[in-house]
Amino acid sequence: MEEGFIVRKLLKLSIAGTLIFAAMGIVWGIAANARIIMFDGLYSLVSTGMSLLSLWAVNFIAREGEARDDLFQFGRTVVEPLVMIIKSLVMLGIVVTAMIFAVQDLFHGGRVVNLENSLIYAVISSVFCLAVYSLLHRKGKKSRSGLLKLEAIEWKMDGLISLGTLAGFAVAMFLRRTTVAGLIPYVDPVLLLMITALFVKTPAHTLWNGMRELLRMAPDEEMQLQVDEIVQQVRQKYQLEEAYCRISKVGTTLYAEIDFVTGKKTLVYTVRDTDRIREEISKAIFKLPYEPWLTISFTENRKWAV
């Protein structure tokens, strides 16, 4: 419950910061006639809506323990990957649209921008975005929330936009004094095209991870090895013949179905023995950075386990 409160508080902070940044980017972009700055502001504005969606999801999941939930009998954390998918699709839409505008500008002689105003914006926004990212990233390391980690990534992306803008317009200022000053109008669309090309990877990766969780696919190999090691240690300790482990991660919940085939040499004889094993596995898995949801069964017949 305490973690949920901290996550909600940080998401509210992120939303407030994003609103400020979005308004500044859109107004400043229009004033400087810089499409990359307008994209920055628009991206942040859309991020605000997505952050509100994340906040709703966190509140929705937090109500899980208040009463019996007949509708979500396997928990509400399934909402988290669903929100990740929606956010990723929206961000991909924004990025691809910006790419199209950048290509259009390149084929229409570029875009004349106010370089001085653009540089001032780039410095302010770089410091602002990376400061918020640093805070969320630091807190996100201690949290199980994938939504908080995604929020931090979005601020990092905004910070990278600003740094790229700063570098690009600094180069444009330098070009003013050279014989290739005619290339300056192409700086804005080229910057926008480069940054959006880099940005495609992050929402695409997040979309894939969200789909994996929603489809209850196996988590990353490292997590599978950690759970399997715990199960195999218990199998050997109690001389169980075989063990089958199936796991998936949905949001902050780790679902594990573990089936043991007892065999003739087993040291498991009573229901009390099986409960002791369940307790051992539960304590071991609980050390992983996820909330475990365990189903552990025992059988003499292998067909009920495979």
Strands (E), the chain: 242-250, 253-261, 291-299
Q: 169, 161 in Cβ contact below 8 A?
A: no
User: pLDDT digits over 259-305, tens only?
Assistant: 999 988 899 999 999 999 999 999 988 888 778 889 999 999 888 88
The pLDDT score that the predictor gives to residue 143 is: 66
- Cα(28)–Cα(21) distance, rounded to whole angstroms? 10
Distance in angstroms (rounded) separating the CA atoms of residues 282 and 110: 61
115-137 average pLDDT score: 87
- State pLDDT tens for residues 48-100: 777 777 777 777 777 665 555 667 667 677 788 888 888 888 888 888 888 89
pLDDT of residue 277: 93
The pLDDT of residue 1 is above 50: no
Q: How far apart are CA 167 and CA 175, in angstroms?
A: 13
CA–CA gap between residue 213 and residue 202 (Å, rounded): 17
SS (H, E, C) 106-156: HHCCCCCCCHHHHHHHHHHHHHHHHHHHHHHHHHHHCCCCHHHHHHHHHHH
Question: Whole-structure pTM over 0.85, yes or no?
Answer: no
> Above 50 in pLDDT, residue 117?
yes
